[in-house]
Amino acid sequence: MSTVYDFTVKDRKGNEVSLGEYAGKVLLIVNTATKCGFTPHYDPLEAMYKDLREKGLEILDFPCNQFANQAPGDAEEIHDFCTLKFGTEFPQFKKIDVNGENADPLFVFLATEKPFEGFGKGVKNAAMNTFTAMNNKKFGDKAYIKWNFTKFLIDREGKVVTRFEPTADMKNVRAAVETELAK
Protein backbone atom coordinates (compact mmCIF):
# COMPACT_ATOMS: atom_id res chain seq x y z
CA MET A 1 0.00 0.00 0.00
CA SER A 2 1.44 3.33 -0.96
CA THR A 3 -1.07 5.93 0.29
CA VAL A 4 -3.61 6.28 3.07
CA TYR A 5 -6.30 6.00 0.41
CA ASP A 6 -5.54 2.28 0.18
CA PHE A 7 -6.90 1.71 3.71
CA THR A 8 -10.37 0.95 4.98
CA VAL A 9 -11.26 1.82 8.57
CA LYS A 10 -14.40 1.57 10.68
CA ASP A 11 -16.48 4.56 11.68
CA ARG A 12 -17.61 4.82 15.28
CA LYS A 13 -20.71 2.74 14.49
CA GLY A 14 -18.62 -0.05 12.95
CA ASN A 15 -19.32 0.68 9.28
CA GLU A 16 -16.41 0.30 6.86
CA VAL A 17 -15.11 3.55 5.38
CA SER A 18 -12.58 3.69 2.56
CA LEU A 19 -10.10 6.48 3.14
CA GLY A 20 -10.27 6.87 -0.65
CA GLU A 21 -13.39 8.92 0.13
CA TYR A 22 -10.99 11.64 1.30
CA ALA A 23 -8.94 11.75 -1.90
CA GLY A 24 -7.90 15.31 -2.73
CA LYS A 25 -8.20 16.49 0.88
CA VAL A 26 -5.44 17.37 3.33
CA LEU A 27 -5.82 15.03 6.31
CA LEU A 28 -4.72 15.25 9.90
CA ILE A 29 -5.02 11.76 11.40
CA VAL A 30 -4.90 11.67 15.21
CA ASN A 31 -5.04 8.97 17.88
CA THR A 32 -6.95 10.45 20.81
CA ALA A 33 -8.03 9.86 24.39
CA THR A 34 -10.62 11.54 26.58
CA LYS A 35 -8.77 11.43 29.91
CA CYS A 36 -5.27 12.43 28.87
CA GLY A 37 -3.24 15.50 29.74
CA PHE A 38 -3.28 16.26 26.01
CA THR A 39 -7.08 16.00 25.70
CA PRO A 40 -7.30 19.83 25.54
CA HIS A 41 -5.79 19.45 22.03
CA TYR A 42 -9.39 18.91 20.96
CA ASP A 43 -9.93 22.70 21.25
CA PRO A 44 -7.28 23.78 18.70
CA LEU A 45 -8.10 20.77 16.51
CA GLU A 46 -11.77 21.77 16.35
CA ALA A 47 -10.87 25.44 15.75
CA MET A 48 -8.59 24.37 12.90
CA TYR A 49 -11.32 22.16 11.46
CA LYS A 50 -13.91 24.95 11.55
CA ASP A 51 -11.51 27.45 10.00
CA LEU A 52 -9.96 25.22 7.33
CA ARG A 53 -12.53 22.59 6.38
CA GLU A 54 -13.80 24.67 3.46
CA LYS A 55 -10.21 24.82 2.16
CA GLY A 56 -9.98 21.03 2.07
CA LEU A 57 -8.94 19.90 5.59
CA GLU A 58 -10.35 16.79 7.22
CA ILE A 59 -9.35 15.71 10.72
CA LEU A 60 -9.80 11.99 11.40
CA ASP A 61 -10.09 11.06 15.09
CA PHE A 62 -9.18 7.52 16.20
CA PRO A 63 -9.68 6.95 19.96
CA CYS A 64 -7.18 4.58 21.56
CA ASN A 65 -7.09 3.17 25.09
CA GLN A 66 -3.53 1.74 25.02
CA PHE A 67 -1.90 4.57 26.95
CA ALA A 68 -2.64 4.30 30.68
CA ASN A 69 -6.29 3.47 29.92
CA GLN A 70 -7.03 7.09 29.09
CA ALA A 71 -9.84 6.39 26.59
CA PRO A 72 -12.34 4.38 28.60
CA GLY A 73 -15.89 3.96 27.46
CA ASP A 74 -17.55 2.82 24.29
CA ALA A 75 -17.78 4.72 21.01
CA GLU A 76 -20.94 6.62 21.99
CA GLU A 77 -19.57 7.68 25.40
CA ILE A 78 -16.36 8.94 23.78
CA HIS A 79 -18.31 10.73 21.03
CA ASP A 80 -20.68 12.35 23.55
CA PHE A 81 -17.74 13.55 25.65
CA CYS A 82 -15.99 15.09 22.64
CA THR A 83 -19.05 16.78 21.21
CA LEU A 84 -20.36 18.09 24.54
CA LYS A 85 -17.06 19.22 26.06
CA PHE A 86 -15.20 20.36 22.93
CA GLY A 87 -17.92 20.73 20.29
CA THR A 88 -16.05 18.46 17.89
CA GLU A 89 -17.56 18.04 14.46
CA PHE A 90 -14.75 16.22 12.65
CA PRO A 91 -15.18 12.50 11.92
CA GLN A 92 -14.55 10.14 14.81
CA PHE A 93 -13.81 6.50 14.09
CA LYS A 94 -13.98 3.28 16.06
CA LYS A 95 -11.65 2.91 19.04
CA ILE A 96 -8.52 1.06 17.88
CA ASP A 97 -5.14 -0.22 18.99
CA VAL A 98 -2.18 1.63 17.52
CA ASN A 99 0.49 -0.65 18.97
CA GLY A 100 1.11 -4.35 19.40
CA GLU A 101 -0.15 -7.42 17.59
CA ASN A 102 -3.60 -5.89 17.05
CA ALA A 103 -2.40 -2.50 15.85
CA ASP A 104 -4.63 -1.01 13.19
CA PRO A 105 -2.89 -1.38 9.79
CA LEU A 106 -3.42 2.34 9.06
CA PHE A 107 -1.35 3.36 12.09
CA VAL A 108 1.33 0.76 11.34
CA PHE A 109 1.59 2.32 7.86
CA LEU A 110 1.66 5.90 9.20
CA ALA A 111 4.32 5.13 11.79
CA THR A 112 6.40 3.20 9.27
CA GLU A 113 6.26 6.15 6.87
CA LYS A 114 7.17 8.63 9.63
CA PRO A 115 8.79 6.86 12.60
CA PHE A 116 9.12 8.36 16.06
CA GLU A 117 12.06 10.80 16.25
CA GLY A 118 11.65 12.01 19.83
CA PHE A 119 9.54 14.34 21.89
CA GLY A 120 11.94 17.27 21.66
CA LYS A 121 14.05 18.96 24.30
CA GLY A 122 13.25 20.12 27.79
CA VAL A 123 12.19 18.67 31.12
CA LYS A 124 8.59 17.96 30.02
CA ASN A 125 9.78 16.07 26.97
CA ALA A 126 12.32 14.08 28.99
CA ALA A 127 9.54 13.09 31.37
CA MET A 128 7.45 11.92 28.39
CA ASN A 129 10.37 9.75 27.23
CA THR A 130 10.57 8.04 30.61
CA PHE A 131 6.82 7.60 31.00
CA THR A 132 6.23 6.28 27.48
CA ALA A 133 9.16 3.88 27.70
CA MET A 134 7.51 2.21 30.70
CA ASN A 135 4.09 2.06 29.03
CA ASN A 136 5.30 0.90 25.62
CA LYS A 137 7.81 -1.77 26.65
CA LYS A 138 5.01 -4.36 26.49
CA PHE A 139 4.72 -3.71 22.73
CA GLY A 140 8.44 -4.17 21.99
CA ASP A 141 9.22 -3.43 18.36
CA LYS A 142 5.49 -2.94 17.72
CA ALA A 143 5.33 0.29 19.79
CA TYR A 144 4.57 2.39 16.72
CA ILE A 145 2.92 5.30 18.49
CA LYS A 146 4.38 6.62 21.73
CA TRP A 147 1.35 8.41 23.24
CA ASN A 148 -2.10 9.89 22.72
CA PHE A 149 -2.56 12.78 20.30
CA THR A 150 0.16 11.80 17.86
CA LYS A 151 -0.78 13.52 14.61
CA PHE A 152 0.03 12.63 11.01
CA LEU A 153 -0.31 15.23 8.24
CA ILE A 154 -1.33 13.74 4.88
CA ASP A 155 -1.12 15.61 1.56
CA ARG A 156 -3.83 15.72 -1.12
CA GLU A 157 -2.29 12.66 -2.83
CA GLY A 158 -2.57 10.55 0.33
CA LYS A 159 1.13 10.59 1.22
CA VAL A 160 2.38 11.12 4.77
CA VAL A 161 4.04 14.54 5.01
CA THR A 162 5.03 14.70 8.66
CA ARG A 163 4.39 13.40 12.15
CA PHE A 164 3.73 15.54 15.20
CA GLU A 165 4.19 14.11 18.65
CA PRO A 166 1.69 15.21 21.32
CA THR A 167 4.31 17.58 22.73
CA ALA A 168 4.40 19.59 19.48
CA ASP A 169 3.05 23.12 19.73
CA MET A 170 -0.40 23.17 18.16
CA LYS A 171 0.48 26.48 16.46
CA ASN A 172 3.20 24.60 14.55
CA VAL A 173 0.73 21.86 13.63
CA ARG A 174 -1.71 24.44 12.27
CA ALA A 175 1.03 26.25 10.34
CA ALA A 176 2.04 22.98 8.65
CA VAL A 177 -1.58 22.22 7.79
CA GLU A 178 -2.05 25.70 6.30
CA THR A 179 1.14 25.31 4.26
CA GLU A 180 -0.10 21.97 2.90
CA LEU A 181 -3.53 23.41 2.07
CA ALA A 182 -1.88 26.25 0.12
CA LYS A 183 -0.08 23.83 -2.23
> What is the Cα–Cα distance from 168 to 133, expressed in whole angstroms?
18
> What is the Cα–Cα distance from 158 to 6, expressed in whole angstroms?
9
Name which of 47, 81, 46, 49 is nearest 63 in CA terms.
81
Q: Report, as residue numbers or ranges, the catalytic residues.
A: 36
Strand partners of residue 163 = 152
Return the SS3 of 41.
helix
CA R_g for the chain: 15
For residues 56 and 156, is the Cβ–Cβ distance under 8 A?
Answer: yes
> What is the Cα–Cα distance from 98 to 145, expressed in whole angstroms?
6
> What is the Cα–Cα distance from 36 to 131, expressed in whole angstroms?
13
